Amino acid sequence: MELMKGRTTAFFSVLVLFTAICSGQTPTVPAGRPHYIEIKLPPNVTSESFIIRYVLMGEDFGGWVQPLAGVSSYVITTTHEGRPATEIKAILYTPGCAIQTLDLALSGATGNPQYAFICQPIRSITLAGVLIRTDRLYGHEVELQARYVARWAQPFLGLDDAPVMAIPVGDVAFPAADGRFRLLIPDLSLDPVAGAQDHAGELQIWAKDKISEAIVAQLIPNGTQPSKTRMGGLRVQNGYPSEIVFVPCAANPRLLHDKIGFAIRPDYSDACDR
């Protein structure tokens, strides 16, 4: 159990790191006209929901583009350590569209290249669930959202030690009084990238505090199910059972004590044990 606690703490630490290290870019041409690439958006794409994760050749981590409202393109500087980068790799996503990857050689290019994102529409499917053991939410009122965990992203971007990329997908749901909820999520099995057999990934359901938006728990499918992954997510497929039972694996569980004051260890059926 202590080992599992350590693994769980490390898992959530990675998530916090993942959230905290985003780097912003503006959609204007940088001062001094350095080398850059412009990602152009189609009119039907909402710019503030657009996600760009990129790495320049030679970088150890790369960066994220800060989403902005009301822009028609994003500009990414392609200078690394004072020199023009020779290559850029990126993963692009916006709700309702398929995930796209960009692998562009920059050496020998004349001028600053442009890349036009063209939306490939992806249909939505419904994920119905019921949340039990809500006591493990420790009093938080929560909202739920699915995240696509792209385990193929690290090798594609050439990053070994970076946190796994997780993309928020679908809408937000609020559990009813009986714990039931419905999430509308993209059918990633039809996504040319996420649905490819050599692109490992899964869906995970996360609970956030409604007010602070702090991560409260990951929802783990209860018991043994064909669609359940080793990390407590759901396999990418074109449909799910009529109702999946979930239990929370709390991010920061409160330590309960008995009448004498000794800490009560979680039982061995705790969802964090997978």
Give the largest CA-CA distance in the chain: 74
Domain boundary among 100, 116, 132: 116
The answer to whether position 2 is within a domain reads no
Domain boundary among 89, 116, 143: 116
Residue that has been written with the tokens 């529409």 in this structure: 121
- Is the pLDDT reported for residue 249 higher than 60? yes
Phi, psi for 146 (deg, rounded to 5) = -85, 150
The answer to whether position 10 is within a domain reads no
Domain boundary among 116, 132, 148: 116
Asked if 87 contacts 59 with a C-beta cutoff of 8 angstroms, the reply is no
What is the tens place of the pLDDT at every residue in 140-199?
999 999 999 999 999 999 988 778 999 999 999 999 999 999 999 999 999 999 999 999
Indicate the number of domains in the chain.
2
Stretch (H or E) spanning 76: strand 73-77
The pLDDT, as a whole number, for residue 31 is 54
Residue type at position 77 = T
53 and 129: one domain?
A: no
Q: How far apart are CA 56 and CA 76, in angstroms?
A: 10
185 and 86: one domain?
A: no
Residue 238 buriedness (CB in 10 A; 0-12 / 13-18 / 19+): exposed
Rounded average pLDDT over 208-235: 93
Average pLDDT of every residue of the chain: 83
For CA atoms 85, 150, 197, 181, the dihedral sign is negative
245 and 127: one domain?
A: yes
Q: How far apart are CA 272 and CA 238, in angstroms?
A: 27
204 and 165: one domain?
A: yes
The pLDDT, as a whole number, for residue 273 is 55
100 and 175: one domain?
A: no
The pLDDT, as a whole number, for residue 272 is 67
243 and 142: one domain?
A: yes
43 and 146: one domain?
A: no
- Is the pLDDT reported for residue 45 higher than 70? yes
Number of C-beta neighbours around residue 111 at 10 A: 6
Rounded average pLDDT over 20-46: 68
pTM: 0.81
The answer to whether position 3 is within a domain reads no
Q: Checking phi first, is residue 153 left (phi over 0); if not, alpha (psi -120 to 50) or beta?
A: alpha
265 and 168: one domain?
A: yes
Range of the domain at 31: 17-116
210 and 259: one domain?
A: yes
The closest of 131, 141, 142, 145 to 222, measured between CA atoms, is 131
Strand, helix or coil at 161? coil
Rounded average pLDDT over 48-52: 96
What is the tens place of the pLDDT at every residue in 101-148?
999 998 866 678 999 999 999 999 999 999 999 999 999 999 999 999
The pLDDT, as a whole number, for residue 5 is 38
The pLDDT, as a whole number, for residue 258 is 44
